Structure 1
């Protein structure tokens, strides 16, 4: 059973999420909070597997709440999924830097929502192809990106094949699309991607994209 906490200042949104998630046999909502400060307090003494976090809240926002959760002793056991409207939020990259593990669009279907939570709880990335495209668009504006020499140094550790696959991930391709493009199996793509994540210390695919862009690997505009 995946133990979930809802963090959102809108009671109606939490109620809607509650209905969807309570209908799934493998998900249990164990806590709710209407603001970031309350969320951090609750997590100090409540075991939670996945936090579903709104970015825009009064007081401390979702980015700062995420940062404070990551300072808790047991934070390594908590997965944080950000609920966002990609075309309206400009702090997606900040959420990644603060410790978010993935993103779910506020317009996600019930199946996308539950699948994202379960995948995240299992240690996988919760980032749909649509979300990945939105993330890349959000963080890859050449005028907004500040190149990080330390990140660039980390990516120099990657093999040519790993770099090729990371670039294709940044371009927005799924594992299946990458496998078809470079004629290897989806499993091999995943293996190379996982090795790349380990080498650059990225928690998941979303953070890998963020780090790659900061290292100068911009998406192909074609």
Structure 2
């Protein structure tokens, strides 16, 4: 049997933590390995219990969820942890900052339990939780902020075809749509996507979209 996905819950409200724990532990393929009430505690606890996914609130004392996510999953972290941000605040700014910090997904706390559970499973597999078109709309809104300074070097080791695939990912296309556009198979697209993520040190398509906008690859 496959080992359960190990989940760490970080929220400053004890009732929320208890509710999430009850829902998650009822699933045979998921297991809560720890819970805490602020971002700093989440970073410290994650180093001890090694979760597969951290369910992270945004507004918390000591260290907020965005900064905690950056410490757990951001660029340069030696052993990044997948983070699913779950908050009551449906603000584009929070979504944008969470993704920039390294989060792999974003949910609202009023989402039904099945959506939370599926979100954890999705993020645990290394996939992005946000649909490509949603990601493009979100990141595009903040494109002027994350475009590179003049003189940014070319992307490391990406072939022209990989750059083309990356641009199509950032344009909100699914693997099937990319395959149809480039007249190649979906398996070939999956191979290109895997290579792009590996070469750029990215975990999922959400981060690939953010990267593409940051490097000025998308207009």
Q: TM-score range by the shorter chain?
A: 0.7 to 0.9
Q: Matches of 2:156 and 2:72 in 1, distance apart?
A: 31
Q: Matches of 1:23 and 1:184 in 2, distance apart?
A: 42
Q: Matches of 1:51 and 1:127 in 2, distance apart?
A: 14
TM-score between both structures, scaled by the size of structure 1: 0.79
Q: Matches of 1:216 and 1:116 in 2, distance apart?
A: 30
- Which of 2, 14, 22 matches 2:17? 14
With over 3 angstroms needed to count, the CA separation of the structure-2 counterparts of 1:119 and 1:82, relative to structure 1, is same
Between 140-149 and 20-29, the greater mean CA deviation after superposition = 140-149
* Count of residues paired in the alignment: 213
Structure 2 residue aligned with 1:29? 32
Structure 1 residue aligned with 2:7? 4
Structure 1 residue aligned with 2:171? 171
TM superposition shift of 1:51: 0.7
- After superposition, give the CA deviation of every residue in 1:12-35 in whole Å (9 maximum; x if it has no partner): 433332233122111011111121
Whether the aligned pair in 2 keeps the contact of 1:155 and 1:212 (CA below 8 Å) is no
Whether the aligned pair in 2 keeps the contact of 1:154 and 1:199 (CA below 8 Å) is no
- After superposition, give the CA deviation of every residue in 1:81-122 in whole Å (9 maximum; x if it has no partner): 22257851414443344333x013215444443333234333
TM superposition shift of 1:193: 1.3
Q: Matches of 2:36 and 2:107 in 1, distance apart?
A: 19
Q: Matches of 1:43 and 1:86 in 2, distance apart?
A: 24
Whether the aligned pair in 1 keeps the contact of 2:82 and 2:123 (CA below 8 Å) is yes
TM-score between both structures, scaled by the size of structure 2: 0.80
TM superposition shift of 1:6: 0.8
Secondary structure of the corresponding residue to residue 4 of structure 1: strand
Q: State how 1:37-56 maps to structure 2 within 5 Å.
A: 37-56=40-59
Secondary structure of the corresponding residue to residue 30 of structure 1: strand
Task: Indicate yes or no: 2:124 matched with 1:121.
Answer: yes
- After superposition, give the CA deviation of every residue in 1:142-175 in whole Å (9 maximum; x if it has no partner): 6642422599534374333222222221122221
Q: Matches of 2:191 and 2:49 in 1, distance apart?
A: 34
Q: State how 1:1-222 maps to structure 2 within 5 Å.
A: 1-69=4-72, 76=79, 78-84=81-87, 87-100=90-103, 102-106=104-108, 108-122=111-125, 124-129=126-131, 132-141=132-141, 144-149=144-149, 153-155=153-155, 157-218=157-218
Unaligned runs of 5+ in 2: none
With over 3 angstroms needed to count, the CA separation of the structure-2 counterparts of 1:142 and 1:94, relative to structure 1, is closer
Q: RMSD of the alignment, in Å?
A: 3.0
